Structure 1
């Protein structure tokens, strides 16, 4: 029996070290900077035959000119058009022919590109991303093509989609000064009317090594990776334009914003959007725990009370936005047949009032901590998520090690802290309320 335990312990240690985790569960990685400012993060995991090569650029919709919105998201599309050395519409074919996959996404705060490839294709992934950074073709034919693609996406995802207008309608009422007041898709007319040189200037400002993080996770040898990184990225010149970082601070809210919006929908909805602190700030962790308690999943307070117990709502959902600058948490409810929106809103308010007045029970508190622990462990369980988490930590905080500190920050939150942030942030004067109604004939 003792031999079996020793064998299992030995295998566990070997697996832990091979997967890039220390014996205390921390993610192990190395990082350094190239002379041109590119930050590099290397995270080895020899338990998988794959690698993820990713680049995160510190540019999102909040970095845009208010008269030229949608550029960050537009570039997510344009960067697959081709480069000086990659013909148009061939970028993704290099990856698929190698047995890999690729994707990209844009938020208010950053743009992220990645390739997942067999581990023997590291050079390919690095070449592709270096081409994107240095030689992308920002030219008329690609710009014209992607203008059509992005405008069509806006129509499908927002203009013609049931409840698709909730986010833009909420954001433009929640913010009066901060660039979060527009969403990443931007304004159709801004994209349509933008000149080619506008896009060229955007590329030269933001798609530079000193505004990017290169992350490699998976099965690779460090010496090989460092040589290839140097070969493909070291000669890319550092950006010379000043990188725009918005410093505007949204004024503190002192009164509720309330409105009614009509859309092509069958069922009405009530939306409550509460202003919350920026991700990573001391209050954020308590706010995030409260948000999960109230609106995350079918066991959350709002769902359990309003959908299951009182049957006032058909659905309760949440859209948390943990942004680099102070963001929002949206609670979204669709009333049951015959239930007035005001009645549903009143019951939602009652649940938040309880959170402001009463400490969370020990049972709920432990369940919440367990849920967060499971989510954090899961979020780092794959090389895809690990690469993004490491890149995000460095991009937002210049501290990649934050990926190993999140759980202790959540576990430092007390029941009293949760009640305190409920009183501070989840109050009527700090929110937008929208009644989302079917269009009247």
Structure 2
């Protein structure tokens, strides 16, 4: 097993090195099967590696009140097996054929993937078609995975320092939208759900016309099309998925809340803002603002609060882009007993500077270089390419070529737009101020 893993890692490294020369342009072929499955193919022959992925356009935002956690639950449940794959054999098959696999769920989509030596392409296609066409959804699998999800919740959220931070932020920023429920949802809801409800959720969302199959790596396009038709063509089309965005009323007054975490000893001072969704230009601008504030040791918040004043152990600023809205989050861990409220003042001062003054041409050039490096780095892995291609089609107005346009978009953002976005979205009356404190209980 270890030898096979080492060979796989070596092949992946060769692929990375070979791809760097052409990372600025990703060629691809895309088309639809008659059942509505969107297919994206990218061939790269620098190493005999292939990534097979399926992105379903379903996440926690598609759940209904009283039945939260279904999308994340299905991330686990669809590894249980199918009519042709015995229970517990899915990952054994992947490993036995020299591959790696995993899945993850967000508020907006569920992403399954395998990375194989390219001579195992058919294995990947077979596994994903089995998952889509006829998985076994029964009481044994539901009960088993219910316990798995509960253990994940304990390990990754309830017993992990700062594990529920994002959930607490989302709960306050989205009192109406399902984003407020968090991805893992409620264990009480999962316990109460009946088997028929799980089957109906699968029937509604895990259908070819709500999915993107992306294959990237050492493939022959013509032969791969034949294989895709053979494995996925027989999957029946489902009913069209209809989703209506839940509109949130604007935040017009500062929300102040306190959350307690028994796993921490150091408080976290957080300010969070509701911003536009990921397919907007302003979402990219907010990403750039994040880099200015906390992107490395030379960033503004780090230099001021960690290096100079030494009142913070660490600072963060990042845009959490989602489909309908985004969460812009800044925060700091206090050092030497610094008051959390004082950290908020420090962070506010840096935001005011962004709102008043343009960043310097040198800082702007540095920012552009950072984003270009990130872009190139992401697109040096076959799995990264596969996911970015799928994201473009799923979220960016069905524009798969967004993978080649995003860097151009970043380069077109001006210093004035950075200042104006800070003025538009990062105001005190439009935010949540969250005191994330050690201990148990809830603020009165």
- The interval holding the TM-score normalised by the smaller chain is over 0.9
CA distance in 2, matches of 1:24, 1:82: 37
- Three-state SS of the structure 1 residue aligned to 2:301 is helix
Distance 1:415 1:439, change over 3 A: same
Alignment of 1:11-90 (within 5 A): 25-90=24-89
Contact 1:22 1:28 in 2 (8 A): no
Alignment of 1:292-441 (within 5 A): 292-396=291-395, 397-439=397-439
Cα deviation for residue 262 of structure 1 reads 2.1
Structure 1 partner of 2:7: none
CA distance in 1, matches of 2:27, 2:323: 25
Structure 1 partner of 2:256: 258
Q: Which runs of 5+ in 1 are unaligned?
A: 1-14
Cα deviation for residue 282 of structure 1 reads 2.2
Contact 2:287 2:318 in 1 (8 A): no
Contact 1:63 1:246 in 2 (8 A): no
CA distance in 1, matches of 2:234, 2:343: 60
Structure 1 partner of 2:195: 196
Contact 1:20 1:44 in 2 (8 A): no
Contact 1:104 1:113 in 2 (8 A): yes
- Three-state SS of the structure 2 residue aligned to 1:400 is coil
Contact 2:259 2:436 in 1 (8 A): yes
- Three-state SS of the structure 1 residue aligned to 2:253 is coil
Distance 1:153 1:361, change over 3 A: same
CA distance in 2, matches of 1:56, 1:372: 25
CA distance in 2, matches of 1:19, 1:56: 26
CA distance in 1, matches of 2:296, 2:329: 14
CA distance in 2, matches of 1:341, 1:19: 48
CA distance in 2, matches of 1:379, 1:72: 26
Cα distance per residue 1:110-164 (max 9 Å; x no partner): 0000110011111111000000001111111000000011011112111122211
Cα deviation for residue 319 of structure 1 reads 4.4
Structure 1 partner of 2:247: 249
Contact 1:177 1:250 in 2 (8 A): yes
Structure 2 partner of 1:6: none
Alignment of 1:78-117 (within 5 A): 78-117=77-116
Contact 1:21 1:27 in 2 (8 A): no
CA distance in 1, matches of 2:122, 2:259: 51
Cα distance per residue 1:56-88 (max 9 Å; x no partner): 000011111121111111011011110010001
Cα distance per residue 1:5-38 (max 9 Å; x no partner): xxxxxxxxxx99x978997931101000000000
Contact 1:62 1:246 in 2 (8 A): no
Structure 2 partner of 1:149: 148
Cα deviation for residue 166 of structure 1 reads 1.1
CA distance in 2, matches of 1:219, 1:107: 29
TM-score scaled by structure 1? Answer: 0.93
Larger CA deviation: 179-188 vs 288-297? 288-297
Distance 1:24 1:312, change over 3 A: closer
Larger CA deviation: 416-425 vs 268-277? 268-277
Contact 2:277 2:323 in 1 (8 A): yes
Contact 1:373 1:407 in 2 (8 A): yes
- Calculate the aligned-residue CA RMSD, in Å: 1.9
Contact 1:20 1:27 in 2 (8 A): no
Q: Which runs of 5+ in 2 are unaligned?
A: 1-13
CA distance in 2, matches of 1:57, 1:152: 25
Larger CA deviation: 293-302 vs 121-130? 293-302
Contact 1:269 1:437 in 2 (8 A): yes
Contact 2:272 2:431 in 1 (8 A): yes
Cα distance per residue 1:396-418 (max 9 Å; x no partner): 12110111000111111111100
Structure 2 partner of 1:162: 161
Contact 1:19 1:45 in 2 (8 A): no
- Count of aligned positions: 425
Cα deviation for residue 426 of structure 1 reads 0.9
Contact 1:261 1:435 in 2 (8 A): yes
